[in-house]
Chain A
Amino acid sequence: MSKAIEFFAGEYDIIVVGAGHAGCEAAIAAAKMGKETLILTMSLDAVALLACNPSIGGTGKGHLVKEIDALGGEMGLNIDRTMIQSRMLNTSKGPAVHSLRAQADKFEYQNKMKYRLEDQEKLDLRQGEVTEILVEDGVARGVKTRTGATYRAGAVVIATGTYLKGRIFIGELNYEGGPNGFFPSTELSDNLRSIGFEMRRFKTGTPARIHSKSVDFSKTEAQHGDEEIIPFSFMTDELDMEQIPCYLTYTNEKTHQIILDNIGRSPMYAGDMESVGPRYCPSIEDKVVRFTDKKRHQVFIEPEGRETAEMYVQGMSTTLPEDVLLEMMRSVEGLENVKIMRGAYAIEYDCIDPTQLKLSLESRAVENLFFSGQINGTSGYEEAASQGLLAGINAVLKLEEKEPLVLDRSEAYIGVLIDDLVTKGTEEPYRMMTSRSEYRLTLRQDNADLRLTEKGYSVGLVSQERYRRYLEKKSSIEDEMERLKNHKLTPSAEVNEYLKSIGTTPLKTPTSMYDFIKRPEVSYDMLAGIDMERPELKKEVRMQVEIQIKYDGYIKKQTIQIGQFRKLEHKKLSEEIDYSEIKGLRLEARQKLNDIKPESVGQASRISGVSPADINVLLIYLEQQNRNRSGRE
C-alpha cells in the first residue's frame, strides 16, 4: 500500500489549476498584474493543447479572440505567431459578422504558449495533479496535489477542462481517460462535490487524425487562405507567411449505409452514453440519422502543423468503433487508402452548473475560488480563454479588494458568454454564436480594440505602448469623422463628372462627404479623387470610418436600445437580499432569485421564471430600500 506524505510546498497569491486555454490566460494575467502565481497542470505536455480542431477563431469565436487581445490577453498573439493559414469568414455579409479564423500549427501553438508561461515573471509552471481545494471558513486557501504537496494561496482559479472523471468512449469500449491519451483527474471532482458544488456530466468528441501521405488530394478541393492576412492581435502589424491549404471532400451514400448498418455499435445509440453533447458538433452518425435527405456531408481535411503528417478530419467525429471508422472513412473520395494515426473518440466529463457562480466567475459558495473554461459547461478554446482571462483578472482584483471586472452584454461577446452561463446556465456545452448577442452590429470584431482596450488598461494588463497606439487610432478616427461631416461636396461639373465615373448618380445640392459615403455604391476610398484635404490614414482607420458611417442608422438604433438595457443593469441588487422575504414576488421567482442571486435588476429579468411583474416588485422594493436608507442618513 503506497501513500503520499503531505508537505508544505510553497505560498502564492494565486494558484491556477489546469494549463489549457483558460488556465494559461488566467495565470499570465495574474502574474502580469503583479501577483505571485503558480499554474499546475497534470502534464506539461498538455499545456495549451488544441485537443480537437487545429484552428482558432471562426464566427463568434473570432470576436472572442479579438476581445481577449484588446483586454491584454494572450490567445491572439499566440495564434498570430503560429498560424499556418488565415481566412476572414462571412466577407459577403456585413462587417459585424466578419469573423477571423486561422489554422494553427498545433505543436507550435503549444510550444510557444508553454514558453510564454515559462518566460513570464512571477509565474511558476509546475506539473502536478490537484486532488483537493483547501477551504477554510468558506474561503479558498490553497490546493493539495496527489504527491502530497500543499500549496497555499490567496485565491484559486479552477480551469480543469474535460479532465474531471473523464471517460473515453470508442464503440462498445469505454474506459477512464483524459483527452488525447492523457490521464483523467479522478479525485478533484469528488472533492468539489463534497465542498458543495453541484456537478453535471457533459460530453464532447473528436474525429480521427490521418496520415497526409495516405490521402489522394487530387480528388478533393483545396481550400486556400486569404491573400492578405489580417492578424488577430492589435499589436501584430503585419503577417506574412507561407500558407498551407485545407482540403474538402464529401461523404456519400455508401458512407451513410456503412454508418446505418453499424449504428447499434455507437454508444450513443446503444444507450451507453447518457451525457449531453453539443448540438453544433453532431457526430457523423447523428447527421446521417437526423438528416436523411442529405445525400452527402462535407468533410474538411486540415493540416495539424507544418512539420507533421497528421491531418484532422473535420465533419467526421464519431463514437463508432475503429473497424467501422476505417471502413467508413475509406468510402469517402480521396480517402480510399487512408491510414488512421489517432482514432476518433467521445469523452464524458464532470463540470459544474455555472449558475453557482457570480458574474466575476467567483463561486458563491466559496470565497476566492474562481472557475473558468470547460468546467463551466462551455466548449471551445476561445470560450475557455475568455473566461480564464476574466477569472484571472478578477482573482487579482479580489485580492486587492477592488470591484471585479464585469463586461455587460452590450460591451462584449465575453459579457454575453459569462452572463448567459451565470444567469441562465446551459443544457449543453455552450458555444459562442453571433446570434446570441442582442447587439451584434455594435459588438464587431473590427472595433474590439475600441471597445475594450481602455478596460484592459485600467486593470493593468494593457501595456503603455499598446495604450498609446490605441489612443492614436481612436483620435484619428474621430478627427476624420468630424472632417467628413464638415466637408461639403458641391455639385460642380468637375465633381459630378467624377461621380459619374465611379458609377453613382450626380449631386444636385451640396452634400457632406459623410452623408455621401452612406450611398450603398460608394466607398470611402472611392472618393479620394475629389477629396483634396484627405489625410494619409492607416487602413484600419479608413475601414473603421467607413463602417461607422455606412451603418450609422443601425448603430444609432442599437445605441438607444443599449441605453434602455443599461438602465436596469445599473440597478444593483445586493447579495444579502433574502428574496423569500419580499412580499409580492411569486414563489418560483423567490426560489430562482435566491438560487442565482442576480447582481442587477437587468440580470434578474433574464432569469427564466422571473416575470415582468416580479421585476416591477423588485423595482419598488429597491426604491423602498433607498428611501429607508436616505431616511436614516
Chain B
Amino acid sequence: MDTIVAIATPPGEGGIGIIRLSGSKAVSISDRLFRGLSEKNLSGLEERKLNYGHIVNPTDKKIVDEVMAVYMKEPKTYTKEDVVEIHCHGGAISVRRILELVLSEGARLADRGEFTKRAFLNGRIDLSQAEAVIDLIKAKTDANFDMSLNQLEGSMTKKVRELQNELLSMIAHIEASIDFPDQDVEQITSEELKKTAKSVYSEIDTLIATSNTGRIIKEGVKTVILGKPNVGKSSLMNALMRENRAIVTDIPGTTRDIIEEYVNINGVPLRIIDTAGIRETDDLVEKIGVERAKEVLRDADLAIVVFDCSKEFESEDLAIISLVKDKPAIVLFNKTDLESKLREEDIAKMLKGKHIITTSMLEGKGIDRLEEKLREMFLSSEVEIGEDPVVTNARQKDLLIKAKENIQDALDALNMEMPVDCIEVDIKGCWENLGFITGDSIGEDIIDKIFKNFCIGK
C-alpha cells in the first residue's frame, strides 16, 4: 500500500493542526523531515510518545515549524499500518507547508475517508460498522469526485485545459504516426516535440509559481445565489453585506471569472460565489447558461434560490428547481410586498425538504429569518464546509509538480533520442496528472482525436 497523508484537524483557525500519514513509508518520510533534540530523527526516538522537534525543509535546510510528532508502528494503529502524526501550529500556512513537504517526499494525498477505508480493509473496524463505513466513504468520495471537476477556478482551469489540449494534440499525432505508418501522416519531428514540451514545461512552472504566491485562502460555506433576472438577488447580496462586514476578494490569477465575497453571518462563514458578477448582470442562469450554473453548483455547499412571487411560474423556474434538487438549499419567496402570483405550496411540492422563507428585500423583511436558518443549518451539519481549500491547493500543486516531472522526463528522453513511443509515455503521464486536476480521463479521446485530425484508413 502506498503512503497517504491528510490534514487531520478540521479546516479553520485552530491552535494546532495535525498532519497524519499512514503506510509503509510513513516513518521514513517523516525521518527525512523531522529533527528532534540532539539531531535525532523520529524513528530514533521513543515510539508512541509525542516528541518535540522541528520540521526542516530537506532542500534548503530551513526550519518550517516547531512541532510535536509521534510515530506508531503497525499493526496497533488506526489503519493497522505505520502511522505518523505531526502536530504543528494551527492556521493554513504551517499546515500547508508541511503537507507539501510530505507530498514531495513521496506520500500521496489521501482520498476522502481513505484512512477509515484502510482501517476497515485491514480488519481494524468491526464488521457491524461496514455499512456506516460505506456511507462515509461514499459520501466523501462522491463529494471528492465532484470536487475534482471544479477544483481550479476560472482562468486557472482554462489554462490547465489548454495545456491538456496541446498535449493531446501531440499524443494524437504520435499515435497516428505509430498506428498508421504508411498512411501519409506527416511525421512529427523531435524538434517540434521539444518545442511544445518546453512551452508546456514553462507554463506548468508558472502555474506552480502562482500557487505559491500568498493567496488568501479563506474557508467558508461555498454558497451560490440562483434566480431569474430581477428577482432580488442583488438586493439580497447587498442586504447580507450591509449588515455583515464583507470582504471582497478578487482571486489572483483569475481575470473576472469569479469573485468571492466572504461574509460572516451569526458566526457562519459564507463564501458567496459571485460568478461573472451576480450584482451586475443579475441573471446567473441566463448569462452563463445552465451548464455553467451546474458546474458552479456542483462545487457549492449551499444554494440560495430566489423566486419573485409577484411573477407567474416560468420554465426557467423549473430549470432552477431541477438544478438544486439534490443540494442543500434555502428557497426565498421574495417581493411579498407585491401581489402574489406564485403559490408557496406549489414550489414546496417540487422542492421537498427545502427550507422556504418569505422575504421582502424592499421592506427589509425576512433577512433575519434567513440568517437564523443559515446558523441552524450549519450547527446541525445540514450544510458543511467542503474540502479545505488548503488541501485543494496542496493537491493541485502536487499534481502540477508531477506533471512537470513528466514533461521533464519527456524532454530528457528527447535529448537522449529515445524512440517516440517512449517519449509518448511521459507526455501521456503529464496529461493524466493534469487530468486529475480537471477531472478528465484520457480513454477514447486519443482515438477520437486521431480520426478527427488525420485522414487515415485504407
Do A520 and B145 touch across chains, with their CB atoms under 8 A apart? no
B178, B183, B184, B425 — which one has the most chain A CB atoms within 10 A of its CB? Answer: B178
From the candidates B123, B177, B418, B446, name the one contacting A94 in the complex (CB within 8 A): B418
When each residue 310-345 of chain A gets 1 if its CB lies under 8 Å from chain B and 0 otherwise, what string results? 000011010000000000000000000000000000
CA distance A574 to B119 in the complex (A): 24
Do A280 and B184 touch across chains, with their CB atoms under 8 A apart? no
Do A613 and B417 touch across chains, with their CB atoms under 8 A apart? no
Selecting from A195-203, A234-242, A290-298, A365-373, the interface stretch reads: A290-298
Residue of A nearest to B420 (CB): A93
Distance (whole angstroms) from the CB of B122 to the closest CB of chain A: 9
Do A60 and B179 touch across chains, with their CB atoms under 8 A apart? yes
From the candidates B133, B184, B417, B457, name the one contacting A282 in the complex (CB within 8 A): B457
CA distance A314 to B180 in the complex (A): 14
When each residue 113-145 of chain B gets 1 if its CB lies under 8 Å from chain A and 0 otherwise, what string results? 100010011010001001101110110011011
From the candidates B120, B138, B180, B458, name the one contacting A584 in the complex (CB within 8 A): B138
CA distance A558 to B422 in the complex (A): 11
Q: Which residues of A have CB within 8 Å of B134?
A: 583-584, 617, 620-621
Q: Which residues of A have CB within 8 Å of B450?
A: 435
Q: Which residues of A have CB within 8 Å of B142?
A: 586, 611, 613
Residue of B nearest to A248 (CB): B182
Do B425 and A441 touch across chains, with their CB atoms under 8 A apart? yes
A314, A583, A620 — which one has the most chain B CB atoms within 10 A of its CB? Answer: A620
Cβ-based interface call for A612 (8 A) = yes
Do A89 and B138 touch across chains, with their CB atoms under 8 A apart? no
Do A433 and B447 touch across chains, with their CB atoms under 8 A apart? yes
CA distance A99 to B182 in the complex (A): 12
Q: A583-B131, A611-B145, A613-B142 are in contact. Are A435 and B458 (CB under 8 A)?
A: no
Do B145 and A435 touch across chains, with their CB atoms under 8 A apart? no
CA distance A255 to B422 in the complex (A): 40
Distance (whole angstroms) from the CB of A521 to the closest CB of chain B: 8
When each residue 161-187 of chain B gets 1 if its CB lies under 8 Å from chain A and 0 otherwise, what string results? 000000000000001011111111000
Do B421 and A97 touch across chains, with their CB atoms under 8 A apart? yes
Do A616 and B178 touch across chains, with their CB atoms under 8 A apart? no
Distance (whole angstroms) from the CB of B189 to the closest CB of chain A: 12
When each residue 134-147 of chain A gets 1 if its CB lies under 8 Å from chain B and 0 otherwise, what string results? 00000000000000
Distance (whole angstroms) from the CB of A481 to the closest CB of chain B: 20
A435, A520, A627 — which one has the most chain B CB atoms within 10 A of its CB? Answer: A435
From the candidates B144, B416, B457, B458, name the one contacting A520 in the complex (CB within 8 A): B416
Q: Which residues of B have CB within 8 Å of A583?
A: 131, 134
CA distance A281 to B123 in the complex (A): 53
Residue of B nearest to A288 (CB): B455
Distance (whole angstroms) from the CB of A543 to the closest CB of chain B: 15
From the candidates B179, B420, B422, B455, name the one contacting A433 in the complex (CB within 8 A): B179
Residue of A nearest to B451 (CB): A279
A60, A94, A436 — which one has the most chain B CB atoms within 10 A of its CB? Answer: A94
Q: A435-B179, A620-B133 are in contact. Are A440 and B421 (CB under 8 A)?
A: yes
Q: Which residues of A have CB within 8 Å of B137?
A: 613, 616-617, 620
Report the count of interface residues on A (CB-CB < 8 A).
Answer: 53
Do B145 and A97 touch across chains, with their CB atoms under 8 A apart? no
Q: A435-B446, A584-B138 are in contact. Are A620 and B121 (CB under 8 A)?
A: yes
Q: Which residues of A have CB within 8 Å of B141?
A: 611-613, 616
Do B455 and A297 touch across chains, with their CB atoms under 8 A apart? yes
Cβ-based interface call for B419 (8 A) = yes
Cβ-based interface call for B456 (8 A) = yes
Q: A279-B457, A620-B137 are in contact. Are A90 and B181 (CB under 8 A)?
A: yes
Q: Which residues of B have CB within 8 Å of A584?
A: 131, 134-135, 138
Q: Which parts of A533-549 form the interface with B (CB within 8 Å)? A: none
CA distance A123 to B458 in the complex (A): 36
From the candidates A314, A315, A435, A631, name the one contacting B178 in the complex (CB within 8 A): A435
Residue of A nearest to B415 (CB): A520
Cβ-based interface call for A623 (8 A) = yes
Do B455 and A620 touch across chains, with their CB atoms under 8 A apart? no
Distance (whole angstroms) from the CB of B441 to the closest CB of chain A: 10
Q: A60-B179, A97-B421, A627-B127 are in contact. Are A280 and B138 (CB under 8 A)?
A: no
CA distance A624 to B113 in the complex (A): 17
Report the count of interface residues on B (CB-CB < 8 A).
Answer: 43
Do A435 and B447 touch across chains, with their CB atoms under 8 A apart? yes
CA distance A430 to B140 in the complex (A): 37
Cβ-based interface call for A364 (8 A) = no
Q: A279-B451, A434-B178, A616-B117 are in contact. Are A53 and B458 (CB under 8 A)?
A: yes
When each residue 500-524 of chain A gets 1 if its CB lies under 8 Å from chain B and 0 otherwise, what string results? 0000000000000000000010000
Q: Which residues of B have CB within 8 Å of A440?
A: 421
Do B457 and A287 touch across chains, with their CB atoms under 8 A apart? yes
Cβ-based interface call for A59 (8 A) = yes
Q: Which residues of A have CB within 8 Å of B181?
A: 59, 89-90, 99
Q: Which residues of A have CB within 8 Å of B145?
A: 611-613
Distance (whole angstroms) from the CB of B401 to the closest CB of chain A: 18
CA distance A368 to B63 in the complex (A): 68
Q: A90-B181, A97-B178, A619-B121 are in contact. Are A315 and B458 (CB under 8 A)?
A: yes
B127, B130, B133, B417 — which one has the most chain A CB atoms within 10 A of its CB? Answer: B130
Distance (whole angstroms) from the CB of A382 to the closest CB of chain B: 14
Do A287 and B455 touch across chains, with their CB atoms under 8 A apart? yes
Q: Which residues of B have CB within 8 Å of A30?
A: none
Distance (whole angstroms) from the CB of A313 to the closest CB of chain B: 10
Do A613 and B138 touch across chains, with their CB atoms under 8 A apart? yes
Do A628 and B127 touch across chains, with their CB atoms under 8 A apart? yes
Q: Which residues of A have CB within 8 Å of B447?
A: 433, 435-436
Q: Which residues of B have CB within 8 Å of A520?
A: 416-418
Q: Which parts of A582-614 form the interface with B (CB within 8 Å)? A: 583-584, 586, 611-613
CA distance A433 to B113 in the complex (A): 38
Residue of B nearest to A627 (CB): B127
Cβ-based interface call for A554 (8 A) = yes
When each residue 549-576 of chain A gets 1 if its CB lies under 8 Å from chain B and 0 otherwise, what string results? 0010010011000000000000000000
Cβ-based interface call for A96 (8 A) = yes
Distance (whole angstroms) from the CB of A619 to the closest CB of chain B: 6
CA distance A586 to B422 in the complex (A): 39
Residue of A nearest to B131 (CB): A583
Q: Which residues of B have CB within 8 Å of A628?
A: 127
Do B117 and A59 touch across chains, with their CB atoms under 8 A apart? no
Q: Which residues of B have CB within 8 Å of A611?
A: 141-142, 145
Q: Which residues of B have CB within 8 Å of A298?
A: 182-184
When each residue 71-113 of chain A gets 1 if its CB lies under 8 Å from chain B and 0 otherwise, what string results? 0000000000000000001100111110100000000000000
Distance (whole angstroms) from the CB of A37 to the closest CB of chain B: 34
Q: Which residues of A have CB within 8 Å of B419?
A: 93-95, 97
Distance (whole angstroms) from the CB of B410 to the closest CB of chain A: 12
CA distance A551 to B418 in the complex (A): 9
A314, A583, A613 — which one has the most chain B CB atoms within 10 A of its CB? Answer: A613
CA distance A557 to B426 in the complex (A): 11
Q: A89-B182, A620-B130 are in contact. Are A435 and B175 (CB under 8 A)?
A: yes
Q: Which residues of A have CB within 8 Å of B455?
A: 282, 287, 290-291, 294, 297
Q: Which residues of A have CB within 8 Å of B425?
A: 441, 554, 557-558
Do B422 and A551 touch across chains, with their CB atoms under 8 A apart? yes
Distance (whole angstroms) from the CB of A51 to the closest CB of chain B: 13
Distance (whole angstroms) from the CB of A56 to the closest CB of chain B: 14
Query: Would you give 12 A-B contacts (Cβ < 8 Å), ordered by A?
Result: A60-B179, A97-B421, A282-B455, A433-B447, A520-B417, A551-B422, A584-B134, A612-B141, A616-B113, A619-B121, A620-B117, A624-B130
**Supplied contacts A97-B419, A583-B134, A613-B141, 5 more A-B pairs, CB within 8 Å:** A95-B419, A279-B457, A435-B179, A617-B138, A623-B130
Q: Which B residues contact A (CB, under 8 angstroms)? A: 111, 113, 117, 120-121, 123, 127, 130-131, 133-135, 137-138, 141-142, 144-145, 175, 177-184, 416-422, 425, 446-447, 450-451, 455-458
Q: Please name the 9 residue pairs, one residue from A and one from B, whose CB atoms are nearest each other, closest first.
A: A94-B419, A613-B141, A584-B134, A291-B455, A435-B175, A94-B421, A279-B451, A433-B179, A624-B130
